Amino acid sequence: MDPTDRAQGFLRANGMFHGDLDAPRCVQEFTEEMDAGLSGRPSSLAMIPTFIEVDREIPAEEPVIAMDAGGTNLRIALVQFDAAGEARITDFERFRMPGLDGEIPAEAFFEALASRLAKVASRSTRVGLSFSYPAEILKTKDGRILSLTKELRVANIRGVMVGESINAALREAGLPGDLRFVVLNDTVGALLAGRAAHAGGRYSRYAGFVLGTGVNCAYVEANERIGKRTDLPAGGRQIINVESGGYSRMPRGVVDRALDATSAEPGNYSFEKAISGAYLGPLCLKVFQAAAEDGLFSPGGRRCLVECKRLETPDLDPFLGGADRGGLHARLSRRGSGDDLSTAASLAGHILERGAKYTAVNMAAALLRSVPTGPADAPACITVDGSTFYRLPTYRERITRWVDEILKGSLRWEVGTVENAALIGAAVGGITN
């Protein structure tokens, strides 16, 4: 049997074949879960109100501190916007996120954030903080942490206020601790950055999407549809942080459940574990190993795969047509049979296609639900940030093809790309709220 046919048969038998997914039905189910989250009914989508509007003007030449606490990196800069709305970034620094290299206490986490902020803490009283983890946003625009994702490990962090805790750590260090924090998700930042960069009636509606270490989206919602809040002004609208990484209604296969069992939070963020950069490599390795146990690889290839302890998402590049930089692909080439690389490439391609289909469902649902803020006949804009979307070979093309298929005949759309989107969006949020 051809390696491609064997790979497809294996994935179908284990509940992981993308061809068995009905995309329109998946969009309907995703939207139903969005509605449940907005109403306050049980839902795997948190649907967090941000109290951030999209129509406020950006003041010119006022400095604002921008922080981007992402999946891997913490980025900090001072940002100013000129009269045309162009962002000028200075004092830029990048650090590794605390809590990635082993569990630390919450106090140490905020001390680390405060120490990184110290250089620019006296340059502005306003801070826009793009925080890439689930947090309840209060009307004060500070955020209360609900959980941590993307394998970040910080003890006793749930329920802690982000801006308040950083201010306390600054004061403890003898620095100004009266900063005005506006905490927003990185997808909210992407949306704000996209709208700032592509204003002037070019688009009918806006959404933000991040596909890097993790995955999430944000869109503009009408206040009257946010049934779980009774204190919102009628006729208004605001950005909703969907927290789509937690979506749980997507079908899961045998290998999905095996990966979930070894993750930092078993039972949570199953959607993220199927499509994001933190998990695609490990998921493919488990698929390879399960397929090897099922006889899809030669004895030499099987031994090579069983011995492999780690496969990061960038290591998938050669299996997807990219350059072979060594690693598992090279070892499998040396130790396996002629069909082993073809089998692995086919398995990886199918897993990527499934991830693309799921991602497209999320994107399409956000665009369809977003409240128009511009000309009705203009296309929609979804500003996408994240290295997995842009750098993993063929992933972007697969995703956009599926979005085209899902939205065909109902909504025109475009991908908006803004360099440093999360950082610039954080600055927009910080200076306009």
Can you give the residue ranges of every domain in the chain? 3-27+276-349, 32-50+198-249+356-417, 64-187+423-432
What's the whole-number mean pLDDT along residues 2-21? 93
pLDDT tens for 280-295 read 999 999 999 999 999 9
What's the whole-number mean pLDDT along residues 190-217? 89
The architecture that CATH gives domain 64-187+423-432 is: 2-Layer Sandwich (3.30)
Q: What is the pLDDT of residue 101?
A: 86
DSSP 215: E
Half-sphere exposure of 114 (CA within 13 A, CB side): 24
Q: What is the pLDDT of residue 141?
A: 93
In 270-401 the beta strands, taken as DSSP E runs, fall at: 380-385
pLDDT tens for 353-371 read 999 999 999 999 999 999 9
Asked if pLDDT for residue 329 goes beyond 80, the answer is: yes
Cβ-proximal residues to 427 (8 Å cutoff; 6+ apart), any chain: 64, 66, 79, 81, 87, 128
Q: What is the third-level CATH fold of 32-50+198-249+356-417?
A: Hexokinase; domain 1 (3.40.367)
What's the whole-number mean pLDDT along residues 247-266? 92
Percent of the chain with pLDDT over 70: 99
Determine how β-strand 73-81 pairs with β-strand 64-69.
antiparallel
What's the whole-number mean pLDDT along residues 192-201? 83
Return the minimum-mean-pLDDT range out of 98-107, 381-390, 407-416.
98-107
Q: With the CA atoms of 253, 254, 255 and 256 taken in that order, what torsion angle do they form, in degrees rounded to the nearest 10?
A: 50
Asked if pLDDT for residue 1 goes beyond 80, the answer is: no
Q: What is the pLDDT of residue 342?
A: 95
Q: What is the pLDDT of residue 325?
A: 81
* Residue 85 pLDDT level (bands cut at 50, 70, 90): confident
